Amino acid sequence: MEEITFRDEFYLPEGKIYMDGNSLGLMSVRAEKVVKEIMESWKKYGIDGWTEGEDPWFTLSERLGNRMAPLVGAFPEEVTVTGSTTSNLHQLTATFYRPERGRTKILADALAFPTDIYALQSQLSLKGYDESHLVLAESTDGHTIDEDTIIQAMTGDISLVILPSVLYRSGQVLDMEKLTAAAHERGITIGFDLSHSIGALPHRLSEWGVDFAFWCNYKYVNAGPGSVGGLYINREHFSETPGLTGWFGSDKNSQFDMEHTYVKAADSGAYQLGTPHVLSAAPLLGSLEMFEEAGMEALRGRSLKLTGYLMEQIDSRLSSWDFVIANPREESRRGGHVYLEHPEAARITKALKAEGVIPDFRNPNGIRLAPTALYNTFEDCFQTVTKLKEIMEKEKYKAFKNERDIIA
């Protein structure tokens, strides 16, 4: 089993096994280099950095979007790097949620990441609707949601559907193509939160006809904590005026005319609001180089091998304890991480960290382990299970309280 060639380009925590790339990706040498270059550009050019230097800031969001487009299977002009997961969701809901007589509800899922639900509740309130207009497709097992259940909830009173591409807890991959087709058959607009799939698996958003999508770039894309997010707008919607407007969504040719008449950009760039966060976007320049060199299909293939091997190790070596693999096992339905459940999960997570393995805890009893294709190895997976086995055999977890830390 060969090692991936990009491992040496990341700053791996010394003496530790990092299995939390689905929450925050590691810093790469290339990301660090580009940040230094952007800082140097600021130092050298001052305000002229907006138009001078190797990476002028004025069009940085659009150029980064063009380079991100292959990661989501989109045309270059359909992607812009801007905002955050939550601010972009607010922007897109403000644009595409158009309650009309008979169609006033938003459909999401009961296992959604909380920020998506908070944003949708807020948008409903701003339109004068209460939470009864937020419909949640339910899970039968608490881990996954059947696509047919979601489709059955696409009733005649649904105006907008917003779903994750990958469920953040269990790692289930939803069939976006099937869901998009079903929504459109019913005259419903549909968008996806790609935060747990971007950089981990290929997408074909334009081919599938997805209306819009949004995501963060600090997980598998490794662009740093709080890095600038991204959004996709199907070019069929370029004629729409964004629900929220700001000066960086203006047409570039007239942006500095300073007129009070808004002339929007002709593509996804229209969905920007304020001045780009240049320093937060810089690491993405370096990170995207590796994705361009590796290719998403190859990275997805390696990711599936890593998670498959990790599950094999868990099955064969941890069967004496009460671990349950709660993520889908089928490759077509499995995202980039393995999700374990155990009654003592919080304590076990702390014990793993004490033993040099960095996992991710999800309340109340979940452990997420993400062997990331760009920098994790099969040996990392083997040693993680070795540590888990030792923790259980020697009951090392009992030295810790079975409750989460402030940040889990």
Average pLDDT over residues 164-177: 98
What is the structure's pLDDT at 3? 54
pLDDT tens for each residue of 283-309: 999 999 999 999 999 999 999 999 999
Distance CA 242, CA 88 (A): 11
Q: Show which residues are catalytic.
A: 113, 193, 218-219, 368
pLDDT tens for each residue of 256-280: 999 999 999 999 999 999 999 999 9
Q: H helices within 127-220, ranges in order? A: 147-152, 176-185, 205-208
349 is in an annotated binding site: no
What is the structure's pLDDT at 406? 76
Distance CA 278, CA 240 (A): 27
218 is in an annotated binding site: yes
113 is in an annotated binding site: yes
Domains of the chain: 7-28+295-399 (3.90.1150.10), 58-293 (3.40.640.10)
The pTM for the full model equals 0.96
pLDDT tens for each residue of 302-352: 999 999 999 999 999 999 999 999 999 999 999 999 999 999 999 999 999
Identity at 219, one-letter amino acid code: K
Average pLDDT over residues 383-392: 98
pLDDT tens for each residue of 134-155: 999 999 999 999 999 999 999 9
Q: What is the mean pLDDT of the chain?
A: 96
70 is in an annotated binding site: no
Strands (E) in 121-260, as ranges, are 134-137, 158-164, 189-193, 212-215, 230-233
Distance CA 9, CA 287 (A): 10
| Assigned token pair, 259 | 């007129």
386 is in an annotated binding site: no
- Residue 379: Cβ within 10 Å count: 11
Burial class (CB in 10 A: 0-12, 13-18, 19+), 202: middle
Distance CA 386, CA 62 (A): 45
97 is in an annotated binding site: no
Average pLDDT over residues 126-132: 96
